Amino acid sequence: MSIIKSFSVGDGDMFYIKHNSDNFTVIDCCYDSDSDWENQLDEIEQESKGKGITRFISTHPDNDHIKGLEDYNTRFKIANFYCVKNSATKEDETDAFKEYKKLRDDGKKAYYLYQGCTRKWMNQKSDKRGSAGINCLWPVLENEDFKKALTLARVGGSPNNISPILTYSVGKTKFMWFGDLETDFLNKIKDKIDFPNADVIFAPHHGRKSGQLPKDVIEKIAPQIIIVGEAPSSDLAYYSDYNTITQNSSGDITFDCANDKIHIYVKNETYCVDFLEDEDRTNSLGNYIGTLCVN
């Protein structure tokens, strides 16, 4: 069994993966309120107990993806910090951004992501422990559009387009993250990526229209569910031709993966969808809204 959780943190991102191996992964962090933040950290501490390898993946250093990083690092003492290699700067540096820079530039803790990169135990197993099942589809370091995005971030511009594209596979199921990649940028780089099918994808840029996936890209991925984030409703791309879960309405979303099934739970007790199988499950993960059966 593997658990993926998407926290509801307002206009931001925060996920964890409790792998079915000796791994635990957090992707981004952002606190919405002090009380929720403490509860989220308590949950991460509880769920990560007993895992031999823990890693933190930072998609990019905007505040809605790193807010609270200094508190997170104080509590958990990040030993494995994953990000795209960059020299991003900010005119006004928050404590979180200062912490990001310290981790990003730490020669012992930082590991830099790029297309096809391999590492124990991110996507390689050993006699000691299994793989986490995480792979990186982007960036291509030699790509000119990516280099321009790095330059923009280096001079204090938006770091959105230095975000990696990541997949997580467990059993027959696959999830995909895009960070805050923007539509115009995706259109420039899409032919440089061999997009696999994925069952659940987290829409880029919190589901905003500015990060809407190009039609030909989404057709290649053929997702069964698109998670639309918590950007303001007026800014969202709703992907009306696809099954969606909108986190503005659902609250926290938890995916319980068991080989060829994904059991899905949300925090909002009244939230429901009509495209999932009903296996009449109940447990402490939240309001069960149905099961996705993977082909």
Per-residue pLDDT tens over the stretch 41-63: 999 999 999 999 999 999 999 99
Q: Work out the percent of the chain whose per-residue pLDDT is above 70.
A: 100
Cα separation of 20 and 171, whole Å? 10
What confidence tier does 35 reach under pLDDT thresholds 50, 70, 90? confident
Residue 16 exposure: Cα atoms within 13 Å on the Cβ side: 19
- Helices then strands (H, E): number in the chain? 8, 15
Cα separation of 232 and 234, whole Å? 5
Q: Where are the domains of the chain?
A: 2-202+250-293
Cα separation of 214 and 191, whole Å? 12
What's residue 34's pLDDT? 80
What confidence tier does 283 reach under pLDDT thresholds 50, 70, 90? confident
What's residue 172's pLDDT? 95
Longest dimension (CA), the chain: 53
What confidence tier does 282 reach under pLDDT thresholds 50, 70, 90? confident
Give the pairing of strands 53-57 and 81-83: parallel
The answer on pLDDT for 33 being more than 90 is: no
The answer on pLDDT for 295 being more than 90 is: no
Mean pLDDT value of segment 119-123:
97
Angle at 211 between CA 276 and CA 246, to 5 degrees: 30
CATH architecture label of 2-202+250-293:
4-Layer Sandwich (3.60)
Cα separation of 82 and 163, whole Å? 12
Cα separation of 263 and 4, whole Å? 11
Cα separation of 291 and 262, whole Å? 6
pLDDT tens profile 219-243: 999 999 999 999 899 999 999 999 9
What's residue 1's pLDDT? 84
Task: Check if the beta carbon of residue 168 is closer than 8 Å to that of residue 133.
Answer: yes
